[in-house]
Chains A and B, each alone.
Chain A
Amino acid sequence: GAGVSQTPSNKVTEKGKYVELRCDPISGHTALYWYRQSLGQGPEFLIYFQGTGAADDSGLPNDRFFAVRPEGSVSTLKIQRTERGDSAVYLCASSLNAGQETQYFGPGTRLLVL
């Protein structure tokens, strides 16, 4: 079956611009996670959803970052007033439920802020 998909695969933007990154989880998965991965480092937790609600957003670095999942399926990560330091790979994962459940990762969106 289809795995987690993320669009776009690559995004180049200019400092100060607004970007949206999309994640399509595996059908039927209630939990969805966003991570950020910088070069040479492990994924860093940003936020996770259980259904439509953000169950834990403690990893969002500041108020320029926001994520939604209005219908409990697709999620969008939104970054306002992008900065060069936001450049990274943004990974999305989904699992059947939260907790000790296998997380299935998408291929990521590579964001470059010039």
Chain B
Amino acid sequence: GENVEQHPSTLSVQEGDSAVIKCTYSDSASNYFPWYKQELGKGPQLIIDIRSNVGEKKDQRIAVTLNKTAKHFSLHITETQPEDSAVYFCAALRDTNAGKSTFGDGTTLTVKP
């Protein structure tokens, strides 16, 4: 089955700096890669996703890149703000296993004011 590894497990940055979180996956058939933000006591919330037919996607301060050959994808947050502090999860999914997402173990991001 699919295995997703996420690094780093914790990340601390100064407000205004950039943050990068990386994930690798094992199943070359995976073709959909969502990123979630989870705040304390809440369920994960989708913040951005990327499909295998594109290499990069951007939404304001958030961007995701995908390298299918190397089987890794990354989340980039620019101009970080204290409200970006949360746990971030990457996930991988393939259409033939529709619905069965495999998640990484999360990155705790702390943005210091």
Contacts and interface: CB of A to CB of B under 8 A. Distances in A.
Contacts of A106: 43
A105 B106 contact: no
Contact of B43 (A4, A58, A100): A4
Interface in B55-113: 89, 91, 93, 95, 97-106
For B31, B36, B100, the residue with the greatest tally of chain A CB atoms inside 10 Å of its CB is B100
Q: For chain A, which range describes its interface: under 10, 10 to 19, 20 to 34, or 35 or more residues? A: 20 to 34
A104 B98 CA distance: 15
A31 interface: yes
Contacts of A62: none
Contacts of A45: 100-102
Interface of B: 4, 6, 31-32, 34, 36, 41-46, 49, 51, 89, 91, 93, 95, 97-106
Interface of A: 4, 31, 33, 40-45, 48, 50, 55-56, 58-59, 91, 93, 95, 98-100, 102-108
